[in-house]
């Protein structure tokens, strides 16, 4: 029988970080259970190829939402990484910490010890931030961590036009949205190093696997074994055989906000009535398991470019071959960046104290899945609100571990969602109409000039809104007295000994921006809790809040 002090389920953003940190001092044995295969190969390692892996069944679990009632009953893709490095190996490589106030909100809602002052030292510990000479806040950033964070070259003039247009519209610039000032237009950051995707597997897991006390087991986790109220191991299937991996100290679930609640429920931890319906014996009645599902939704606003300077020039067989070859041999060129090189974080209205809208800007007009090829040269902004009041759930279809769970996001279920999205569409048009875009602006490709009224914009959103692939919140962290909390502020599953959850499932509320950074943070901080270490000393750095926030949106 395989056994170790710590058994981690999942080699993703948080799992890889914990594998490295828990095995670091050599005192503990650690086993990582991962169902997915190797992350080798250009589709994953080449940043410019990012639209491929999340559409490849070999790398992606292939989950889909149920028909979404407020989006014309469309089923939305819900990619999760089924590969070494988890979703950090198939994501868009955008690096965002989230806003300081996000974490203060976590702490206020019961996740004591997770305020911004508490998490900032962990962000610094995990980062190796590369100062590109274009400004930034070195005092707020980390220098010696395993996670390389860089910026794209921003060679394309459109990246600068976007930032300039934001200023012309009266918004703030920011030199470092991961530093003191998130609000504003500025350069976007990426987890790319020396032209390669810098996933959690590359940053943490692979270097740590050289240690004697860390091992990786390729298998399918079926459920957590719980004896007398304590987790003692994980039942797995490997090579067609069912085995048990024993955990001497703890089992830690880091299997994603979709697979973690599924595993908890299969193990008898969750809403008792739902578990009984599937004939699963209730170990701990935690009604919050699988609930509180949140995500970011976005639309792509696309504009034609009258100058042939966009990435569309590579959108053909010869162009792709050229980009691929250049990357393969030199790790440079278009393929060495995710092409998200300018960004903005804005507030939607006066009275909103910190940003609640995010922009990714891209110098090509194309869909995320690479399907609808652009009709020519163009550029686009991905835009969406950050703090939707809509909540969904992940539930079991059956007690069969091989069956995908049922995912209902319940997107756009509040009137506020619609008002916020309409504002995002109109705001983007305002930005694209600024003088900075005059030399480049052609006709509006999407939504199109005829889409102006609230009803027409709503139809566009219903038909075209896409997930930004940031699911979280399905095993919320909170006070032990909170009936909807699943884990306490040390990531311990409430009501079960020897079991923790540490991944994006535990977010009480979704953070501002992309979730890879915050997920790695959870793995970093959870490691200290698991090892019984004193958490890093809090840092009282005050984030920039717009002095005009009460009276203006800019």
Q: How many CB atoms lie within 10 A of CB 143?
A: 11
| β-pairing verdict for 196-197 and 406-408 | unpaired
Percentages helix, strand, coil for the chain (3-state, rounded to 5) are: 30, 25, 45
Tell me, yes or no, if 470 is annotated catalytic. Answer: yes
Catalytic pick among 70, 377, 470, 529: 470
> Annotation-wise, does 12 bind a ligand?
yes
CA dist list (Å): 34 to 4, 156, 399, 550: 15, 39, 21, 48
What gap in Å lies between CA 553 and CA 48, rounded to an integer? 34
For 64-127, where are the alpha helices, taking DSSP H only? 100-108, 116-126
Sequence length of the chain is 554
> Annotation-wise, does 170 bind a ligand?
no
- Residue 239 Cα to chain centre, angstroms: 31
> Annotation-wise, does 504 bind a ligand?
no
> Annotation-wise, does 488 bind a ligand?
no
What gap in Å lies between CA 48 and CA 315, rounded to an integer? 12
Contact 10, 16 (CB under 8 A): no
> Annotation-wise, does 527 bind a ligand?
no
| β-pairing verdict for 284-285 and 269-270 | parallel
Contact 171, 152 (CB under 8 A): no
HSE-CB for 407 with a 13 A CA cutoff: 29
> Annotation-wise, does 9 bind a ligand?
yes
> Annotation-wise, does 32 bind a ligand?
yes
> Annotation-wise, does 33 bind a ligand?
yes
> Annotation-wise, does 16 bind a ligand?
yes
> Annotation-wise, does 26 bind a ligand?
yes
Task: Give all strands (DSSP E) within 76-198, no chain letters.
Answer: 77-78, 127-129, 147-151, 184-187, 189-190, 192-193, 196-197
> Annotation-wise, does 25 bind a ligand?
yes
What gap in Å lies between CA 218 and CA 220, rounded to an integer? 7
> Annotation-wise, does 465 bind a ligand?
no
Q: Which two tokens stand for residue 318?
A: 């010869």
- 510: enclosing H helix or E strand: none
Contact 163, 121 (CB under 8 A): no
> Annotation-wise, does 394 bind a ligand?
no
Contact 366, 374 (CB under 8 A): yes
> Annotation-wise, does 83 bind a ligand?
yes
3-state DSSP assignment of residue 492: strand
What gap in Å lies between CA 39 and CA 96, rounded to an integer? 23
> Annotation-wise, does 27 bind a ligand?
yes
Give strand pairing partners of 501: 253
> Annotation-wise, does 94 bind a ligand?
yes
What gap in Å lies between CA 510 and CA 523, rounded to an integer? 16
> Annotation-wise, does 13 bind a ligand?
yes
Residue 180: exposure state from Cβ atoms within 10 A (0-12, 13-18, ≥19) = middle
> Annotation-wise, does 486 bind a ligand?
no
> Annotation-wise, does 11 bind a ligand?
yes
Binding-site residue ranges for FAD:
5-34, 83, 91-94
What are the residue numbers of the active site?
Answer: 470
Binding-site residue ranges:
5-34, 83, 91-94
């Amino acid at each position: 029988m395989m056994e170790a002090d710590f058994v981690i389920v999942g080699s993703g953003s948080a799992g890889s970080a914990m594998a490295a940190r828990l095995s670091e001092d050599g005192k503990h044995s650690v086993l990582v259970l991962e169902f997915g295969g190797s992350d080798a190969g250009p589709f994953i390692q080449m940043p410019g190829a990012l639209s491929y892996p999340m559409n490849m069944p070999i790398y992606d679990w292939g989950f889909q939402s149920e028909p979404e009632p407020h989006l014309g009953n469309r089923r939305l893709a819900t990619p999760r990484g089924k590969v070494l490095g988890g979703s950090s190996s198939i994501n868009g490589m955008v690096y965002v910490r989230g806003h300081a106030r996000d974490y203060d909100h976590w702490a206020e809602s019961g996740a004591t010890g997770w305020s911004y002052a508490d998490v900032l030292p962990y962000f610094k510990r995990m980062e190796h931030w590369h100062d590109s000479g274009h400004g930034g806040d070195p005092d707020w950033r980390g220098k010696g961590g395993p996670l390389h964070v860089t910026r794209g070259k921003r060679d394309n003039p459109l990246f600068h036009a976007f930032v300039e247009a934001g200023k012309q519209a009266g918004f703030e610039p920011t030199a470092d949205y991961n530093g003191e000032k998130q609000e504003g237009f500025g350069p976007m950051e990426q987890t790319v190093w020396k032209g390669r995707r810098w996933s959690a597997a590359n940053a943490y897991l692979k270097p740590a696997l050289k240690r004697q006390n860390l091992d990786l087991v390729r298998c399918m986790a079926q459920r957590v074994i719980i004896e007398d109220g304590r987790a003692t191991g994980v039942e797995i299937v490997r090579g067609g055989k069912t085995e048990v991996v024993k955990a001497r100290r703890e089992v830690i679930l880091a299997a994603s906000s979709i697979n973690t609640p599924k595993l908890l429920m299969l193990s008898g931890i969750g809403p008792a009535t739902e578990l009984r319906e599937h004939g699963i014996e209730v170990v701990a009645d935690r009604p919050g398991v699988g609930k509180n599902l949140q995500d970011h939704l976005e639309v792509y606003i696309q504009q034609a470019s009258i100058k042939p300077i966009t990435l569309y020039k590579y959108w053909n067989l010869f162009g792709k071959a050229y980009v691929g070859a250049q990357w393969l041999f030199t790790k440079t060129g278009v393929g060495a960046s995710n092409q998200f090189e300018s960004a903005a974080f804005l507030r939607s209205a006066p009275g909103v104290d910190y940003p609640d809208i995010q922009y990714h800007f891209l110098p090509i007009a194309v869909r995320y899945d690479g399907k609808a090829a652009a009709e020519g040269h163009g550029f686009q902004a991905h835009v969406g609100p950050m703090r939707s009041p809509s909540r969904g759930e992940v539930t079991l279809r059956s007690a069969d571990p091989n069956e995908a769970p049922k995912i209902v996001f319940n997107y756009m279920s509040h009137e506020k969602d619609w008002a916020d999205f309409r504002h995002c569409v109109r705001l983007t048009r305002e930005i694209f109409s600024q003088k900075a875009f005059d030399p480049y602006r052609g006709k509006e490709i999407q939504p199109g000039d005829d889409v102006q009224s609230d009803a027409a914009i709503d139809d566009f959103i219903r038909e075209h809104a896409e997930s930004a692939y940031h699911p979280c919140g399905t095993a919320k962290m909170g006070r032990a007295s909170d009936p909807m909390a699943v884990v306490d502020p040390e990531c311990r599953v409430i009501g079960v000994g020897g079991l923790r959850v540490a991944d994006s499932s535990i977010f009480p509320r979704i953070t501002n921006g992309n979730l890879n950074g915050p997920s790695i943070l959870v793995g970093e901080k959870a490691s200290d809790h698991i090892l019984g270490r004193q958490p890093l000393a809090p840092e009282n750095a005050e984030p920039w809040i717009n002095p005009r926030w009460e009276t203006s949106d800019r």
